Amino acid sequence: MNTQLQTGPLTTSTKTIGKTGVLIVNLGTPDSPNTPDVRRYLREFLMDGRVIDIPYVSRWMLINFIIAPFRAPKSAKVYKELWTEEGSPLKTYGYTVEEMLQKALGGDYVVKLAMRYQNPSIASGLAELQKLGLSKITVIPFFPQYASASTGSVYEEVMRILATWQVMPELRFVNRFLDHPKFIEGFVRLGRRYLSERKYDHVLFSYHGLPERQILKGDVTNKQCKLGSCCDTLNRHNQFCYRAQCFETTRLLVKELGLAEGTYTTSFQSRLGRTPWIKPYTDDVIKDLARRGIKSVLALSPSFVADCLETTIEIGDEYRELFKEVGGEHWQLVESLNDSEIWVETLVDLVKKA
Ligand SMILES: C=CC1=C(C)c2cc3[nH]c(cc4nc(cc5[nH]c(cc1n2)c(C)c5CCC(=O)O)C(CCC(=O)O)=C4C)c(C)c3C=C
Ligand SMILES: [Fe+2]
Ligand SMILES: [Fe+2]
């Protein structure tokens, strides 16, 4: 037997051996807008300790005694308004983007769509990729800004499943892409289109909110986040502060859109429960804008890459109603990146650079 150690250079390049799997992952949505499916979705979603980060027993009681019996039927009604003939927009756009990205990347890649909660699950997407004997897998959570409750949870689920594999291929996780030039350009193009059609008194950038506690728990480097003006700049100490990442996203968009100081605001929506969430709250900002005599608002939501309950219903319908109730006249939601070419170009670039 030849026991001599090979000392020369490697003769094979890992790049040429197998294909690369690309798992694109969005948050998830119910299988249907009926109460049992919505209940199952909310149960899986909100039992995630990264989403509701309270002790297991308290979380279990909250979900089973409040969310499941009371919130699920209410949410089901709203999901029925959102639902289209093709289903939930979040999932429909996901499948279209899966197809577009596969076409754009070509035969060296296999693209699979997964949802963190419900279907198609991360487990099923990874199982399909496993069968192909890939040399590399790149995971792209569809969240522009990092948060433990979103990106962190996708990572955890992927790692939980991969931990059971005998062969683990080379792995890449895209952490965030809030400053990717094409991602920014995507929202800028949309914004410009609306701004060229009519004059708006104010532009509102409304992001998904988070409990303040979750931001403070993530501030591991220097414990300096006070959830105030410290989040106004993004630097190496607060690079994972979700609030700071949202302000940075606004800054990049504002620069490209050429908005003047005082004509735009960043705010946070979708509060749940009684603990404090990051501020300013979108509903408070809307009331304040109306009080200041602002009559027309253009609203963008760059924490989402596909339209969903949080954009179409919460911003598009509920905040419009609120704005009009408090004296506003014209409210316009800017649609999300959805299945636009520029969003697919963003993904191609993220995959190639991973
Ligand atoms: C404690 C609760 C929640 C945290 C934390 C949270 C973080 C978070 N969520 C998204 C993206 C989405 N959330 C969506 C819906 C949604 N979010 C929560 C709660 C928390 N989210 C609930 C209860 C719901 C369901 C809606 C309802 O029943 O009222 C959606 C839309 C899904 C759809 O089907 O359309 C998205 C997308 C992010 C990015 C995030 C952390 C930054
Ligand atoms: Fe959410
Ligand atoms: Fe911060």
Q: Where are the domains of the chain?
A: 15-176+341-353, 181-333
CA–CA gap between residue 141 and residue 321 (Å, rounded): 32
| Token reading at 324 | 């009009």
Residue nearest to atom 15 of ligand 1 (CA): 310
Pocket test for ligand 1, best of 208, 277, 317 (most atoms within 8 A of CB): 208
Q: How far is CA 288 from CA 3, 20, 280, 294, in A?
A: 77, 50, 11, 9
Q: What is the DSSP string of 286-314?
A: HHHHHHTT--EEEEE-TT-SS--IIIIII
CA–CA gap between residue 73 and residue 65 (Å, rounded): 13
326 backbone dihedrals φ, ψ, rounded to 5°: -95, 10
User: What is the pLDDT, as a whole number, of residue 273?
Assistant: 86
Tally the C-alpha atoms within 13 A of residue 175's C-alpha that lie toward its C-beta: 6
Q: Mean pLDDT over residues 55-64, rounded? A: 97
Pocket test for ligand 1, best of 24, 26, 27 (most atoms within 8 A of CB): 27
Q: Mean pLDDT over residues 152-167, rounded? A: 97
The mean of the pLDDT values for the chain is 94
| pLDDT for 108 beyond 80 | yes
User: What is the pLDDT, as a whole number, of residue 11?
Assistant: 44
118 backbone dihedrals φ, ψ, rounded to 5°: 65, -140
| pLDDT for 334 beyond 90 | yes
CATH number for the domain formed by residue range(s) 15-176+341-353: 3.40.50.1400
| pLDDT for 206 beyond 50 | yes
Q: Which long-range contacts (CB under 8 A, 24 or more apart) does 84-89 make?
A: 87/32, 88/29, 88/30, 88/33, 88/308, 89/306, 89/307, 89/308, 89/312, 89/338
| pLDDT for 264 beyond 50 | yes
| pLDDT for 157 beyond 70 | yes
| Complex confidence, ipTM | 0.93
| Secondary structure element (H or E) that encloses residue 205, with its range | strand 202-208
User: What is the pLDDT, as a whole number, of residue 6?
Assistant: 47
| 22-26, 71-75, 230-234, 306-310: segment of lowest average pLDDT | 230-234
Residue identified by tokens 């760059």 is 302
271 Cα: distance to centroid of ligand 2 (angstroms) = 9
User: What is the pLDDT, as a whole number, of residue 17?
Assistant: 72
* Nearest Cα residue to 298 out of 326, 270, 329, 268: 329
- For the annotated binding site, the residues are 208, 310
| Token reading at 297 | 């608002």
Q: Mean pLDDT over residues 135-142, rounded? A: 97
Q: Do domains 15-176+341-353 and 181-333 have the same CATH topology?
A: yes
242 Cα: distance to centroid of ligand 3 (angstroms) = 7
pLDDT bin (cut points 50, 70, 90) of residue 222 is low
| pLDDT for 8 beyond 50 | no
Q: Which ligand is nearest to the CA of 313?
A: 1
Which atom of ligand 1 is least distant from the CA of 306? 37
Which atom of ligand 1 is least distant from the CA of 82? 35
Whether 78 contacts 38, CB under 8 Å: no
| pLDDT for 100 beyond 50 | yes
CA–CA gap between residue 110 and residue 128 (Å, rounded): 10
Burial 134-161 (b: 16+ CB within 10 A, else e): bebbbbbbbbbbbbbbbbbbbbebbeeb
Residue with the bigger pLDDT between 228 and 15: it is 228
| pLDDT for 10 beyond 70 | no
Amino acid at 333: L
Summarised one tens digit per residue, pLDDT across range 167-193 is 999 999 999 999 999 999 999 999 999
Q: Mean pLDDT over residues 291-307, rounded? A: 98
Q: Mean pLDDT over residues 223-248, rounded? A: 92
pLDDT bin (cut points 50, 70, 90) of residue 224 is confident
Q: Is 115 exposed, middle or buried (0-12, 13-18, 19+ CB in 10 A)?
A: buried
Residue identified by tokens 């094979």 is 12
Q: How far is CA 204 from CA 38, 153, 167, 334, in A?
A: 30, 28, 47, 10
CA–CA gap between residue 270 and residue 58 (Å, rounded): 21
- For the annotated binding site for Fe(2+), the residues are 208, 310
* Nearest Cα residue to 298 out of 208, 185, 199, 207: 199
User: What is the pLDDT, as a whole number, of residue 281?
Assistant: 98
Task: Find the farthest-apart pair of alpha carbons in the chain and give their distance in angstroms, rounded.
Answer: 87
Q: Mean pLDDT over residues 271-296, rounded? A: 96
Q: In the chain, how many H helices and how many E strands? A: 13, 8
CA–CA gap between residue 74 and residue 209 (Å, rounded): 20
- CATH fold of 181-333 reads Rossmann fold (3.40.50)
Summarised one tens digit per residue, pLDDT across range 24-42 is 999 999 999 999 999 999 9
Q: Mean pLDDT over residues 204-214, rounded? A: 97
* Nearest Cα residue to 247 out of 311, 333, 305, 178: 178
Q: Mean pLDDT over residues 10-36, rounded? A: 83
> Pocket around ligand 1: residues whose beta carbon is below 6 Å from it?
27, 29, 42, 51-52, 75, 88, 90, 143, 147, 149-150, 208, 210, 242, 270, 272, 303-304, 308-310
